[in-house]
């Protein structure tokens, strides 16, 4: 029979202490989030209903629902994703697979990293000057979406580069030895095996664009705009629109005598929208990862 020595018992105690310590650190991150979400849902519960989601604001935005703001957010996020995702992925492919490692490439990579940390208000002023004034687009969904796309490009480029770099180089060398061109290797081997990492960048992009206020406030969002309830094509890309983040800011700071539950209900819908999109993207990512052979 083996007998536990004092040295082994000491290591086990240290291991238990480390497990408890790191568990408490994890709980310290998760518990506040759970408490915040619980408080928001509790405060918003009196207003949460299908009618709240499917009707427009009325009575100076003190009554009614948030349909126009939900649809505007979908337009902004969808159009910005349509612009930024292809550009970001192709730029990352060039930087990781084609560009040589020289001073210019290093400067570009440094610029991408630095742009990811630029405050959103700076992007808002850039969008106002570049798209609304210089390009003559005017305050519209298109101008706001382009501004959001510029703001989220660095995140997509950085995450895509990391995903491409995670694909083993031996995969590429095997294709080249069989006579495949660089583009054939990228298209058939590298991109399929890095798609889950690319989706991570897209998920981050969706989460950020849905919650931004300053860029859309300067370039395309309005205080109030009535549209046809239930009409999915009520906005044109040249129109201004309402957005959930802007609507929450407006109701909280500019509108008086609102129901106490209204700001909480808007916040819950905004969070639920982001979580729904993230859940779908994560499900796709998990499915793709499960099909990997390496």
- Left (φ > 0), alpha (ψ -120 to 50) or beta: where does 225 sit? beta
Domains of the chain: 50-290 (1.10.3720.10)
How do residues 181-227 score in pLDDT, each as one tens digit? Answer: 888 888 888 888 888 788 877 877 777 788 888 889 899 888 888 88
Looking at residue 220, what DSSP letter applies? T
291/294 Cα distance (integer angstroms): 9
Q: Which two three-digit tokens encode residue 1?
A: 């029979």
How do residues 36-45 score in pLDDT, each as one tens digit? Answer: 999 999 999 9
How do residues 12-37 score in pLDDT, each as one tens digit? Answer: 889 999 999 999 999 998 998 899 99
């Amino acid at each position: 029979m083996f007998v536990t020595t004092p040295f082994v018992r000491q290591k086990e105690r240290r291991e238990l202490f480390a497990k408890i310590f790191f568990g408490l650190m994890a709980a310290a991150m998760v518990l506040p989030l759970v408490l915040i979400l619980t408080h928001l849902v509790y405060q918003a519960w009196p207003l949460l209903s299908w009618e709240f989601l499917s009707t427009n604001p009325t009575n100076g935005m003190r009554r009614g629902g948030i349909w126009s703001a939900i649809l505007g957010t979908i337009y902004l996020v969808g159009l910005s994703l349509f612009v930024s995702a292809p550009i970001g992925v192709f730029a990352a492919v060039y930087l990781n697979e084609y560009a040589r490692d020289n001073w210019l490439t290093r400067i570009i990579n440094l610029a991408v990293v630095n742009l990811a940390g630029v405050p959103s208000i700076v992007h808002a002023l850039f969008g106002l000057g570049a798209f609304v004034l210089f390009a003559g687009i005017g305050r519209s969904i298109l101008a706001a979406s382009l501004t959001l796309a510029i703001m989220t490009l660095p995140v997509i480029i950085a995450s895509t580069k990391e995903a491409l770099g995670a694909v083993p180089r031996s995969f590429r060398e095997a294709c080249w030895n069989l006579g495949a061109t660089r583009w054939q290797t990228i298209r058939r081997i590298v991109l399929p095996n890095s798609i889950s990492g690319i989706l991570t960048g897209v998920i981050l992009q969706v989460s950020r664009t849905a919650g931004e206020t300053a860029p859309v406030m300067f370039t395309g969002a309005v205080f109030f705009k009535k549209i046809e309830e239930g009409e999915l094509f009520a906005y044109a890309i040249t129109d201004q629109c309402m957005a959930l983040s802007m609507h929450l800011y407006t109701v909280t700071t500019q509108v008086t005598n609102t129901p106490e539950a209204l700001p909480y209900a808007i916040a819950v819908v905004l969070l639920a929208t982001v979580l729904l999109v993230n859940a779908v993207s994560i499900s796709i990512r998990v499915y793709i990862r499960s099909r990997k052979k390496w």
